[in-house]
Amino acid sequence: MIRIVCFISLVVAVAGVATAEQYWIAYEGNGWPEDEGWWHIWGDEQAHRWIEEGALVIDSLHDIGIADFYDMHMHGQLDPEPGETFVLQWRLRVDEVIGTRDPGVGVSSDEGWTVSFTFEEAAIWSTFEPGVVVTFESGLFHRFELRSADMRHYDLFIDGYLAVSGCFWHGLLQSKVGWGDVVQGSASLSRWDYVRFGVIPEPQVSLLVLVVASLLLCRWRTARAMGRRDA
């Protein structure tokens, strides 16, 4: 009976970790973002756009005055809780930029802490961190992933490798993720394979600690029960 109770306790402990409040939102390039909950924003004129081979193509090369992008507002529900990590992933190819950087991605925390990036054909720039730029091979899709546990500091991975460890900047926007053609005064042709973001559990170290603690408690209870029987 003791072992059964211990097993149930362990299952409940693991389930408690697995059911922490988390979410995951994924745009996979199979349709228009505005049909999947994104807010489509543009100025006087829109970019040309189409879906091609499972990617959203945004083409503003005909007018440097265009800004055409997408926002998702989270209404104060974006940030991770303790023991969780915020993750933002996107896969992008920048074919051409006229002027300075034009395509971009950004996230603002529930408390207004912001990090954003803009792109050239072969480089990514951190908007609010002067001199923070990483180059990559042009003409190819690249995978980007931003991770933050506190929405103050972040790690940016490119194609699976850590490229930047940086800091958020306290801005005016709150609780949102945005991406697309974000700069007026430049133009670009970019292809977005996916944009995904959400909150996930931190690496399984915390779960492992919980499992070990539960097993030790079970062993202690079993030994105590056996001691009482011997007496």
98-109 per-position pLDDT tens digit = 999 999 999 999
Break the chain into its structural domains and give their ranges.
22-216
Give strand ranges (E) for 23-98.
23-27, 39-42, 48-52, 55-59, 68-73, 84-98
The CA distance from 103 to 119, in Å, is: 5
The token pair at 70 is 């997408």
Q: How many CB atoms lie within 10 A of CB 56?
A: 24
User: Architecture of 22-216 per CATH?
Assistant: Sandwich (2.60)
pLDDT in tens, 159-207: 999 999 999 999 899 999 999 999 999 999 999 999 999 999 986 544 4
Q: Is 182 exposed, middle or buried (0-12, 13-18, 19+ CB in 10 A)?
A: buried
Q: What is the mean pLDDT of the chain?
A: 86
The token pair at 21 is 């409040």
Distances (CA, A) of 28 to 35, 94, 123, 228: 12, 17, 23, 60
pTM > 0.75: yes
Contact partners, residue 68, CB within 8 Å, separation at least 6:
40, 41, 42, 43, 46, 47, 49, 58, 60, 180, 181
The CA distance from 32 to 202, in Å, is: 32
Mean pLDDT in residue range 52-73: 97
Predicted confidence at residue 10, as pLDDT, reads 36
What is residue 136's three-state secondary structure?
A: coil
Place of tokens 């202690």: 220
The token pair at 54 is 């499972």
